[in-house]
Structure 1
Amino acid sequence: MTTIGQRFFDVRRAKKATQIEFASKLGLSQSALVAYERGDRDPPAAAIAKICQEYRVDPTWLLSGTGIMFRDNLLQMFEQAIRLAKDFNLRYEVNPSSENEINLAKLFFQYLIENGTISDDMADVLTRRMAANE
């Protein structure tokens, strides 16, 4: 499992920022950032709050490594879950109900939050499981 310092590095790399740029935006010295990224020291609460604020990093992901890196991705995942639910609900039901579509969208969204992505094959498996449980 990755450390919080490695996740600081992952955010910096995702944002294509140098250590100097990244540290400056977070109000840190470059040497402090290097120490966090290497795992020599844990970042203070102020640095954790600042990275979440400045880069819209999901605090759960930053602290635990679970979920998604950026909160902006939640809206995209939500939209993807709705599109998939519409598509798969039409595929499996002649007269799809709104309730089934909503439940399927919830299932897809939860899967996306936990895994970051969903293949058509996995969406198909989840849809079949949901249909079997009804």
Structure 2
Amino acid sequence: MQEIKERFKELRKELKLNQSEFGKRLAVSKDVISNIEIGRVQPKTLLIDAICDTFKVNKDWLVNGSGNMFNDSKENVELEELLYKISKENSSLYPTVLKLSQLDSESLVLIDSLLDKILKK
């Protein structure tokens, strides 16, 4: 059976993050991630909880290897990663993304249609 250190590494690779990026998202150093992945130390409960909250990881999978890796669909996790990347690279988009998150589905369909038209020009 796979050990927690292997699931840490598998998760990080699934998220397409290096150890430094993974640690930064969790407010820990690259060394902490490296030490966990090589089995030098066991992850603390606080870090496990942070991983599960930040990346929507199934805690039972991370700790015991049971169930699916993610609580949400992979698409939701990818969307969260994309939004994080966009907001990090262009902070002026944050207010727009915030407004989009407050729209109902009918309004989002209209916005999507408008964006399609703009992109076709």
TM-score (norm 1): 0.53
SS at match of 2:16: coil
C-alpha displacement of 1:27: 1.3
Letter in 2 for 1:34: S
Unaligned runs of 5+ in 1: 75-134
Partner of 1:53: 53
C-alpha displacement of 1:23: 0.5
C-alpha displacement of 1:41: 0.7
**Cα distance in 1 between the residues matched to 2:39 and 2:12:** 15
C-alpha displacement of 1:52: 0.1
Asked if 1:66 corresponds to 2:39, the answer is: no
C-alpha displacement of 1:73: 3.2
Cα deviation digits, residues 21-62 of structure 1 (max 9, x gap): 001111111111101011111011111000000110000101
- More contact order relative to length (CA 8 Å, sep ≥ 6): 1
SS at match of 1:72: coil
Dislocated runs of 4+, deviation >3 Å: none
Asked if 1:19 corresponds to 2:15, the answer is: no
Cα deviation digits, residues 93-129 of structure 1 (max 9, x gap): xxxxxxxxxxxxxxxxxxxxxxxxxxxxxxxxxxxxx
Unaligned runs of 5+ in 2: 75-121
Cα deviation digits, residues 69-97 of structure 1 (max 9, x gap): 000139xxxxxxxxxxxxxxxxxxxxxxx
**Cα distance in 2 between the residues matched to 1:73 and 1:60:** 16
**Cα distance in 2 between the residues matched to 1:66 and 1:39:** 20
TM-score (norm 2): 0.58
Letter in 2 for 1:68: N
Partner of 1:29: 29
Partner of 1:79: none
Larger Rg: 1
Q: Percent identity?
A: 34
Letter in 1 for 2:70: F
